[in-house]
Amino acid sequence: MKLAQLVMQRCDELGAISDERGCLTRTFASPAMRRANKLVGSWMREAGLQVREDAAFNLIGGLPGTGRGAKTLLLGSHLDTVRDAGKYDGPLGVLVAIAAVQWLRSRLRCFPHQ
């Protein structure tokens, strides 16, 4: 499957995780957002990222830089939504970033982040 198709499929899957029936509502720290973090965390791990969730439920996937003094590159967006949200606002920025890491890891051995 092409990565673009994978991203669109994952947007659909995430779009189904909602606190309300019939529309997408995943407000901050809600049960649906926690479920979304769990699912996206598994996709991050699959892409080779180190995953953690901070005290404010921010999900953070890290790809450590190789080499001394390597810097950190940050990519991402949000997984929570407004009420009756669109399924791409937020998740597209997260899922494309995960796909980019997956693509880079399949082609590069080191990540100097200089």
Minimum CB distance to Zn ion smaller for 61 or for 90:
90
Q: Is residue 53 close enough to count as binding Zn ion by CB under 5 A?
A: no
Secondary structure E strands in 1-114: 50-53, 59-62
Q: Which residues pair with 35 in a beta bridge?
A: none
SS3 43: helix
Min dist CB 90 to Zn ion, Å, is 5
Q: How far is residue 68's CA from residue 30's CA, in Å, rounded to a whole number? A: 39
Name residues contacting Zn ion, limited to 78-97 (CB under 5 A).
89-90
- The distance of closest approach from Cβ of residue 78 to Zn ion in the complex, given in angstroms and rounded to an integer, is 6
Count other Cβ atoms within 10 Å, centred on residue 17.
22
Q: Return the number of the residue (20 or 89) whose C-beta is nearest Zn ion.
A: 89
Tokens of 75: 């990519």
Shortest distance, position 92 Cβ to Zn ion, whole Å: 9
- Would you say 46 or 89 has its CB closer to Zn ion? 89
Instruction: Write out the residues near Zn ion by the rule CB under 5 A.
Output: 89-90
